[in-house]
Amino acid sequence: MSKLKVLVTDKIDPEGLAPLRAHAGIELVYQVAPKPEELEKLLKGVGAWLVRSETKITADWVTKAPDLRLIGRAGVGVDNIDLPAATRRGIAVVNAPAANTLAAAEHAVALMLALARHIPKADASTQAGKWERGKFMGVELHGKTLGVVGLGRIGREVAKRAASFGMKLVGFDPFVTDAQAREIGIEPMSFLDVLAKSDFVTLHVPGGEKTNGMVNAAALAKAKKGVRIINCARGELIDDAALAEALKSGQVGGAALDVFHAEPLPADSPLRGLPNTILTPTWAPPRPRPRAASRPSSRPRSSISTTRASRRTR
């Protein structure tokens, strides 16, 4: 049997790739962020392509990989993969939806705490030799209302941790019934009502036509004055210019963002340089992460075999 050529073009922990390297029937090619002309050469003979979020697998790249039978995403979403193009070719697309849940949830909570207690500012001040004890007191989370937008795995884990701080929980998710939300201690309501009632709002919905730009000028105008917003989901959910204006006016008290429209974040982004923002370089989940990497990488052979078998039975 000829070896299956597996291409990896994003940073994935060596531990996660270990099953592939050890497999006698797999030829592993690990090349992070190759240039387009180099990638076109690498795709020749590739049967499986493993990525995280940086590589964008467009219809054009799918066309240039005639032997491709499997695309694996080491992480939650697959919005960096052209699913219709893959479907037309009969290419299986798999991911690891639960692998990064805890990392993303913990980072969202860390950003919420950092916003509440002004930790980055306090650290910078003390590192600079100052001792400004009263300047960065911030607020307690206990008794505050957290609005969770998106009640999937990550949103629920964030809510669980917020409850331990004594926070009141409200939430919005059109795919979760009111009864299901209340079962996990969250009072369900509309998205705009969540903004209006919450002291903190954390976003955990996928990108797409219905969610991109949902945090815009109109929505922010209806938010509770001084609300703090955390986004560890998708940069496209927020209108950057509108958020920047709301941060300057005080309508939004602070924003902690881990994801952006363009990554790396452009130097001229309106979100840079604002005193009430915390910006992190897409740390949630941390990269590389063995658990996230190992799940899709453990099944290229079986997935491709299944795909080929299903083709024969059509």
Radius of gyration of the chain (CA): 22
Model confidence pLDDT, tens digit, residues 136-149: 999 999 999 999 99
Maximal CA-CA distance, the chain: 73
| Overall domain count for the chain | 2
Nearest to 191 by CA among 179, 205, 180, 209: 205
Domain co-membership, 118 together with 227: yes
Domain co-membership, 137 together with 239: yes
Confidence (pTM)? 0.78
Beta-carbon neighbour count of residue 28 at 10 Å? 20
Model confidence pLDDT, tens digit, residues 269-285: 999 999 999 999 987 65
Write out the two tokens for 124: 């910078």
Q: Is the pLDDT of residue 50 over 90?
A: yes
Model confidence pLDDT, tens digit, residues 26-43: 999 999 999 999 999 999
Domain co-membership, 132 together with 223: yes
Q: Whole domain around residue 76: which residue ranges? A: 4-99+288-312
* pLDDT interval class at 100 (50, 70, 90): confident
Domain co-membership, 62 together with 173: no
- The reported pLDDT for the residue numbered 312 is 34
Beta-carbon neighbour count of residue 90 at 10 Å? 13
Domain co-membership, 117 together with 87: no
- Cα–Cα distance, 297 to 195 (Å, whole number): 40
State mean pLDDT over 113-118: 98
- Cα–Cα distance, 6 to 67 (Å, whole number): 11
Task: Return mean pLDDT, the chain.
Answer: 91
Domain co-membership, 179 together with 196: yes
Domain co-membership, 18 together with 43: yes
Domain co-membership, 155 together with 123: yes
CATH code at 56? 3.40.50.720
- Cα–Cα distance, 128 to 313 (Å, whole number): 69
Q: Is the pLDDT of residue 84 over 90?
A: yes
Nearest to 297 by CA among 34, 3, 16, 1: 16
Q: Is the pLDDT of residue 303 over 80?
A: no
